[in-house]
């Protein structure tokens, strides 16, 4: 026996409303539309969780793909579901790429870590450079603080005790770029530098520029310290989103730092 009109009404009323609307809107067979709706139910949950958005927002984004899928299907002569799968694969790759980009540290983050490590491990505890002068013309290698006014005539064996960079003043000046993955430039940052050294005991009386840490270091000298606000300059190579090399170039007297923290 054939189906009666009442039977047909029952069949139609049992159909999924979303699938019916999708089929009508994009010229699909009901079975094809129903398959899409069933797949999208799970996809909605995954998208909402992945992007940390509401289910309603996830549904809206998914439904926006339907028109593009219909257009691609017509242009390429493929099925609606094939075109929809291609579009979703492309969007998934884009989401992954964006998530990876967010997870990668910025150049500022890389510079902060590299400069702090360099200050702590390669500069703290090191002597400053002494340029050869006078009859002895004695040159002592060390860190370049030649442009900073220091009590060199009164304090001997000056060295860097500690460095406290102010990374809110960090400037990255990218001078050259190679192959899009390597950049060479200079980084500048203002810092408070604590120096130490030795001073004749007699010279410490009435001296306010230095702090006497140990007056009786030995019979002749005291161990002293003092601070300076300076700008440190580093030459840096950034390769594949990591610091390939960093070298301290020198320090200058502290000066105002531009509001723009990055120059290219």
Task: pLDDT tens for the chain, 264 residues: list them.
Answer: 454 544 434 444 567 888 899 999 999 999 888 989 888 888 888 888 877 889 899 888 888 899 999 999 999 999 998 999 999 888 888 877 776 666 678 888 899 999 999 999 999 999 999 876 655 667 789 999 999 999 998 999 999 999 999 999 999 998 777 766 788 999 999 999 999 999 999 888 876 789 999 999 999 999 999 999 999 999 999 988 789 999 999 999 966 444 433 333
Instruction: Check residue 15 and report its DSSP letter.
Output: S
133, 135, 140, 146 alpha-carbon torsion, rounded to 10°: -10
Question: What b-and-e string marks burial along 60-95, b requiring 16 or more CB atoms within 10 Å of the CB?
Answer: eebeebbeebbebbeeeeeebbebbebbbeeeeeee
> Residue 45: what pLDDT?
86
**CA-CA distance, 37 to 28, in Å (whole number)?**
12
Q: Are 105 and 241 in contact (CB under 8 A)?
A: yes
Q: 32: which 2 tokens?
A: 């094809």
The pTM (predicted TM-score) of the whole model is: 0.59
User: H/E element holding 23?
Assistant: helix 17-26
Nearest to 151 by CA among 220, 212, 210, 232: 210
Q: 173: which 2 tokens?
A: 């000046």
User: H/E element holding 18?
Assistant: helix 17-26
Cα angle at 68 between 63 and 70, to 5 degrees? 95
Residue with tokens 């007699």: 202
**CA-CA distance, 145 to 83, in Å (whole number)?**
65
Q: 34: which 2 tokens?
A: 């129903």
> Residue 254: what pLDDT?
67
Residue with tokens 């996830």: 58
Q: DSSP 3-state assignment of 78?
A: coil
Q: Is 11 exposed, middle or buried (0-12, 13-18, 19+ CB in 10 A)?
A: exposed
Give the pairing of strands 262-263 and 211-214: unpaired
Q: Is 217 exposed, middle or buried (0-12, 13-18, 19+ CB in 10 A)?
A: middle
Q: 135: which 2 tokens?
A: 């009859």
Q: DSSP 3-state assignment of 241?
A: coil
Q: 223: which 2 tokens?
A: 């161990």
209, 211, 214, 218 alpha-carbon torsion, rounded to 10°: -10
């Amino acid at each position: 026996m054939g189906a009666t009109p009442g039977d047909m009404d029952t069949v139609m009323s049992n159909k999924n409303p979303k699938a019916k609307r999708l089929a009508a809107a994009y010229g699909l067979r009901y079975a094809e539309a129903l398959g899409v709706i069933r797949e999208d139910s799970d996809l909605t949950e995954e998208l909402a969780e992945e992007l940390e958005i509401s289910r309603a927002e996830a549904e809206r984004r998914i439904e926006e793909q339907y028109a593009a899928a219909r257009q691609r299907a017509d242009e390429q002569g493929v099925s609606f579901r094939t075109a929809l799968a291609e579009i979703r694969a492309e969007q998934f790759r884009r989401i992954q790429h964006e998530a990876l980009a967010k997870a990668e540290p910025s150049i500022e983050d890389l510079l902060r870590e590299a400069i702090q490590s360099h200050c702590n491990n390669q500069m703290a505890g090191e002597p400053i450079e002494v340029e050869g002068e006078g009859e002895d013309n004695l040159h002592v290698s060390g860190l370049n603080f030649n442009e900073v006014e220091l009590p060199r005539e009164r304090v001997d064996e000056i060295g860097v005790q500690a460095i406290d960079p102010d990374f809110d003043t960090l400037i990255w000046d990218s001078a050259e770029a190679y192959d899009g993955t390597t950049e060479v430039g200079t980084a500048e940052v203002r810092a408070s530098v604590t120096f130490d050294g030795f001073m004749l005991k007699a010279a410490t009386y009435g001296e306010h520029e230095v702090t006497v840490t140990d007056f009786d270091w030995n019979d002749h000298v005291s161990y002293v310290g003092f601070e300076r606000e300076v700008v440190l300059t580093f030459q840096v190579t950034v390769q594949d989103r990591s610091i390939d090399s960093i070298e301290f170039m020198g320090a200058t007297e502290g000066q105002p730092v531009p509001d723009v923290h990055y120059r290219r």
